[in-house]
Amino acid sequence: MGKVYFVGAGSGDPELLTLKGKRVLESADVIIYDRLVHPVLLYLAKDSARFIYSGKYPKNHVLKQKNINQLLLEEGQKEQIVVRLKGGDPGIFGRVGEEIATLQQEQIRYEIVPGVTAASAASSYSGIPLTHREHSSKVTLATAHRQVGETIDFKGLTENGTMCLYMGIEQAASTQKILLEQGVSTELPVVIVEWASLGRQRTITAMIQTMVEAIEEHNIQNPSLIILGEVATCRKGTDWFEQLPLFGHKILLIDTEKIKFETILTYTQQGADVYAIQVGKDRDQRFDEVHQQYLSDHYFDEVVYLNSELTTMYKRQEDVLNKRFI
């Protein structure tokens, strides 16, 4: 019987993957990855590893949770290393408890490799400390999706505290209503961070009374994190990440050779939002479906040719999709 590793990929920036996560990923025979995992991490996989996309779009799951559980059972019962690669930290709103229970029933071995959760990434890459001597002595991580009858003491948790709301954009109006009903100050600072720690990150500031209007005005979408609390006042305009030289640049790397993970990092370290594609008849065809999925969801308006001969074949992202990487 094999072993299943639940690996937290971190939130966005591929360098937020831990050293242990990298080691396990490099040894995996099968990698089952989620939509919020940056797929450039698959460039760390060995040549024989299989990739399985488990999706999880809002209201449209490529694989339903019960199917994922069954898949883990089937793959975990074989003599192989299985990596369940999840965005952020698998133990924080990652449904890892259900998946572990499934494996425990069949006595399949597993390990959990923690990752950098969205609250840490979003706050750090926006210049906001989650705790502060003058503003916050506690941090609460909560999901905006609550069970029927469940209540949250927003007033108590935001008094000298910080609250981080995951997956909260669609529920922003109802959350605002509850905050006001509980007597939370209308002027409590709020920061909303979209696509945290990627070069496409957007950070907006507001107050409780204006947060819904701000979300609508800037057309903020999930994945986003809402930070409530006085620590939000620590953000003074753009911060370190947004000041990097390539921040905001959406760059597509193209080569006929396999693109090294380290090459990708030379761009992300400068703040760019980067994806990399190997094209041509000698390409690694395991990535064809990965590329098709990711490029259908995300647009890159700058193309960097690591092989100059490709400049006449692929002038923009649509050319890559239309020619199917050949």
Fold of 119-234: 3.30.950
Per-residue model confidence as pLDDT tens digits over 37-77:
999 999 999 999 999 999 755 555 567 889 999 999 999 99
Q: What is the pLDDT of residue 314?
A: 64
Write the CATH number of the domain with boundaries 3-116: 3.40.1010.10
Residues of the chain with CATH 3.40.1010.10: 3-116
CB 254 within 8 A of CB 310: yes
Q: What one-character-per-residue DSSP string does 190-212 give?
A: EEEEESTTSTT-EEEEEEGGGHH
Q: Which residue has the higher pLDDT, 318 or 41?
A: 41
CB 210 within 8 A of CB 144: no
Q: What is the pLDDT of residue 323?
A: 60
Q: Which residue has the higher pLDDT, 281 or 214?
A: 214
Closest C-alpha among 190, 183, 230 to residue 213 = 190
Closest C-alpha among 27, 47, 242 to residue 125 = 242
Per-residue model confidence as pLDDT tens digits over 133-163:
999 999 999 998 776 677 889 999 999 999 9
Residues of the chain with CATH 3.30.950.10: 119-234
The residues near 198 (Cβ < 8 Å, ≥ 6 apart) are: 12, 13, 38, 273
CA distance 190 to 204: 8
Residue 320 pLDDT greater than 70, yes or no = no
Q: Which residue has the tokens 């952020």?
A: 88
Q: What is the pLDDT of residue 59?
A: 54
Q: Which residue has the higher pLDDT, 281 or 117?
A: 117
CA distance 18 to 147: 32
Q: Which residues are catalytic?
A: 34, 56, 167
The residues near 279 (Cβ < 8 Å, ≥ 6 apart) are: 254, 255, 256, 310, 313, 314, 320, 323, 325, 326
Buried residues in 286-305 as b, exposed as e (16+ CB within 10 A)? ebeebbeebbeeeebeebeb
Residue 222 identity: N
In the chain, pLDDT over 70 holds for what percent of residues?
92
Coil/strand/helix, residue 4: strand
pTM of the model: 0.93
